[in-house]
Structure 1
Amino acid sequence: MFLNVNSEIGKLKRVLLHRPGRELERITPQYLEELLFDDIPWLKRMRAEHDAFALTMANRGCEIYYYENLLQEVLEKGDLKEKFIDDVLKGTKLVNPCLEQAIREYLISLPPQKVVKVAIEGLHKEDVPDLKWEYRLVDYVKSEYPFYINPMPNLYFTRDPGAVIGNGLVINKMKTPARNRETMFLYYIYKYHPLFNQSNIPLYYNYTDPYSIEGGDILVLNERTVAIGCSERTSAWGIETLSERLFQQSKIEKVLAIQIPFTRAYMHLDTVFTMLNYDQFTIYPGVKNNIKVYLLTKGVNSPKITPINSLEEGLKKVLKLPSVELIESGGGTEITAAREQWNDSTNTLAIGPGVVITYDRNEYTNETLRKRGIEVIEIEGSELVRGRGGPRCMSMPLFRENL
């Protein structure tokens, strides 16, 4: 069994990452918004911090897999390279078929490793200065845009393209076009890599589905229960669709839909709320009173929806606990909590019950967690945090030990 995630806190044994690469050096101030960034990162330092993050997990017995390696292995076997190139080109802004054909021929001439690099790092016009094609008016009109193929700077947030639920997989439909190629990458790995395609892994959602849902909004609370954030990035229809499939095809019996404010500052549920232990959670106090909760269970033609009075009540109900502890980030202090939430203080990654990885810069939140009995493993994230994501965002768990 290659995939197994029945909780947020089971000991982490396998994880999917992407080591930041040259795609981060292709972000310029004028394209920050389009590429979903707020700042320009320093790649050298970012890679050192990411390597330390991976080593922290490896030292705790976790096996590390990388997107780029799995994709290369996929393209090295069979006749998939041309199909992959065609799918990459489908998502580009190329509108001149002559130019698209010239780029296609160029990419086909490359070995698999370089095709993967281009698919992730993008194809800048300066990368292929000798490319020849028949110019059309559209080429002159759009000539200022520097890329033939956009870079994928958000790929190091591997949480969002997919999620493992039980022994099955969710390949998400991303809200923004800037991230669509990431889910296509995951589909190729699922469909064609032997680690996945020889394991009869059920697929509960696919990136070709119409309704947006992203992995930062999906929390596996236990073997029978999933929490899904209804957020800026995850739609109500996406939650209903996935819930219905989980009820029909998996062991999941309950979905706790948690509506948070629809703003970029709280783009996913895990930017304001994560699970730490059997009955302990961390939450950003700025959203505590702005959350709506709904319990979804199996219905006749669609999920049955029951409004719940509070997040605490919903968690106690689905986890069958007499009480739960919601630990406020920033020590509960408004200004400190707001500052540290900007640096992803609540975006903790549990690698075991009561054991979490956090950024070291969130000093007040980390101290608060320690006072509540949580083992906090700190990593440096001065550059990693510039993409607005923490340790949970940067990791896609593939296998956790059952509790």
Structure 2
Amino acid sequence: MALVSNKLNINVTSEIGTLKALLIHSPDSGLGKVVPSKAQDWLFEDIVHLDTMRSNEYDYYIKLLLYFLDAGKIKGRLAQIDSAESERTFYKPDHKDFYASDKVIEIQTLLADILHDSVIREKLTASVCAIESCNYRLQEKLNGISPVELAKIFISGALDKDNMIFAPIPNLIFSRDIGITINNYILINKPAKKARSRETLLARYILFNHPIFENHRNNILEIADSIQHFLRPGKDQDEKTTLEGGDVMVVSPNHVIIGCSERTSLSGAQQALKLLFDHKVIEKVTILKIPHKRDYMHIDTVFTQVKRDTWVILGSLAKNENKKESQDPINYFGEKKQKDKVEIVQFTIGKSKPRTFDSIEILLDDVSVNDLKSNTKTKFIYSGNNTFPFDAREQWTDSCNLLALREGVVLGYDRNDKTVDAFKQNGFQIVKVAELLQDMENGTTNPQEMRDTLILMPSSELSRARGGFHCMSLPLLRDELK
């Protein structure tokens, strides 16, 4: 029997509408087996301490999501969950105390559900074994393993606690990158790095086979490579079609921003644009090209939305006119740093001529004023309070990668002190998650009544993985903005 069986109503029309359902993946054992020599191959900057990440950091994320999205699963149980016995077992689907929410949905749960079907299990096992170059006897052995255990193996790469049979997929915690919900459609992405190919395979099988997506099966879009790309010689052949969810933002019901970055190619952005226009999903697509640098990776490492009139953003890339000359980045040889550049082109159905924007700030102001009908001056809260070197340092640790639970209520890392100061200066309340959880449990704070709040989350290990809570979420349902 499926742990999650109710059919979902999928609809996301903004970045900030009240969050109602999302896909996440809690840190699994594969994360604890990343070795230094392979960390960058698996897209990590460093190795992490798994127990700390789980018990002292990610667990707060799950608890907070439940209080906001599915309070019946946690209200009145916080002390029990925090007990020594329950703390490490509450978050994984293979344990009897798993929270089993149909609003805070664990990817591993959905994978185990579909593996109960013997036909799907055999097909998916064959597919995983093909891309991982497993031998036939191992494939046959995997087919005989229970669905719950097989789901763990496909994700962690571990046959048992002592034997790894293929590489882990530690980036699955960044669930946004496997797909993106655009209105009532889901766009499946094409990852740029081989290390993430198994994630996409698992996501494709889940989306096309799990009953919760049954009502939206015809609304699942897949990006194809350019026709006959494999016949093209030389450099053209290397220009792969790639797209990851961190480069796609649904900023209004009729407008999507797609970034071209280290992880999303121009071909990928063009293919996504064509799919969205052909299926009449939206009317307007803005292509935003940022430098192909590890510093930025995706556009959601450069900016995310906080309110309809407020954005958090990296000022040095966004063309901030108000920055003082004395704050301009200077390298250690005393020379002014050359500014990274962006290119922005907007395409609208029915308009033959595309529109261009001179900066990210001008684009986002246009979104706030014209798409979201904000009648107040657009505000920009800057990474590191727009002061070098803190702007660059804190952008690296995801100061701009925030998840909105509702308009004006966002999650961020507690380590980005200067960015926190910038939020305070813009009238936001700052609250630590541990205190907030106790207040919600005691009934002194109602999450549905919170306004203009930055919730600080512990982040010593999570930040090593180079992704914030925007990355660690795939929203499936948000309320429409009124």
The amino acid of 1:189's aligned partner reads: I
The answer to whether structure 1 residue 293 and structure 2 residue 344 are counterparts is yes
Aligned length in residues: 378
CA distances 1:299-320 after superposition (whole Å, capped 9, x unpaired): 69xx853322222332343441
Q: Point out the more displaced range, 357-366 or 303-312.
A: 303-312
Amino acid at match of 1:6: T
Q: 2:167 aligns with which of 122, 127, 150?
A: 150
Contact kept in structure 2, 1:4 and 1:164, CA below 8 Å: yes
Decide whether aligned partners of structure 1 residues 81 and 100 sit closer, same or farther in structure 2, where only a CA change above 3 A counts. Answer: same
Report the 3-state secondary structure (helix = DSSP H, G, I; strand = E; otherwise coil) of the residue aligned with 1:5.
coil
Residue equivalent to 2:266: 236
2:16 to 9, 18, 21: 9
Q: Return closer, same or farther for 1:126/1:266 CA change in 2, 3 Å cut-off.
A: same
1:266 aligns with 2:296: yes
Aligned equivalents of 1:29 and 1:357: distance in 2?
A: 29
Check if 1:182 corresponds to 2:199.
yes
SS in 1 for 2:274: helix
Change (3 A) 1:150 1:113: same
User: Which residue among 106, 111, 116 is the counterpart of 2:146?
Assistant: 111
- Residue number in structure 1 paired with 2:122: 82
Aligned to 2:425: 371
Report the counterpart of residue 470 of structure 2 in structure 1.
392
CA deviation vs aligned residue, 1:143-200 (integer Å, no higher than 9, x gap): xxxx542111111010111100001101100000000111111111111110002444
1:276 maps to 306
Select which of 147, 157, 162 maps to 2:179.
162
Moved more, 316-325 or 64-73: 316-325
Whether the aligned pair in 2 keeps the contact of 1:312 and 1:324 (CA below 8 Å) is no
RMSD over aligned CA atoms reads: 2.1
CA–CA distance in 2 between the matches of 1:260 and 1:370?
29
CA separation of 1:384 and 1:10: change in aligned 2, threshold 3 A: same
| Equivalent in the alignment of 2:108 | 68
Name structure 1 gaps, 5 residues minimum: 129-146
How many Å apart are 1:75 and its aligned residue?
A: 0.7
Write the letter of the residue equivalent to 1:106.
K
Unaligned runs of 5+ in 2: 1-7, 71-102, 227-239, 320-340, 428-451
The structure-2 alpha-carbon separation of the partners of 1:124 and 1:35, relative to structure 1 and needing over 3 Å to count, comes to farther
Change (3 A) 1:368 1:318: closer
**Conserved? CA contact 1:172–1:207, under 8 Å:** no
Deviation at 1:201, TM superposition (A): 4.8
CA–CA separation in structure 1 for the residues paired with 2:201 and 2:42:
17
Structure 1 counterpart of 2:359: 310
Question: Equivalent residue of 2:175, what SS?
Answer: coil
How far is 1:239 from its partner? 1.0
**1:211/1:238 contact within 8 Å kept:** yes
Output the TM-score relative to the length of structure 2: 0.74
User: For the Cα contact (< 8 Å) 2:223–2:271, is it kept in 1?
Assistant: no
Matching residue's letter, 2:259? G
Indicate how the Cα distance of structure 1 residues 381 and 222 shifts in structure 2: closer, same or farther if over 3 A, else same.
Answer: same
Percentage of matched positions with identical amino acids:
36
8 Å Cα contact 2:189/2:200 also seen in 1 = yes
Aligned counterpart in structure 1 of residue 409 of structure 2, from 346, 355, 365: 355
TM superposition score normalised by structure 1: 0.88
Deviation at 1:204, TM superposition (A): 2.5
The change in CA–CA distance for 1:78 and 1:85 in structure 2 (over 3 A counts) is closer
Q: Does 1:55 align with 2:109?
A: no
Q: How does 1:188-207 map to 2 (within 5 A)?
A: 188-206=205-223
Q: CA deviation at 1:285?
A: 2.0
Task: Call closer, same or farther: CA 1:299–1:26 in 2, change over 3 Å.
Answer: farther
Q: Provide the secondary structure at the position in 2 that maps to 1:60.
A: helix
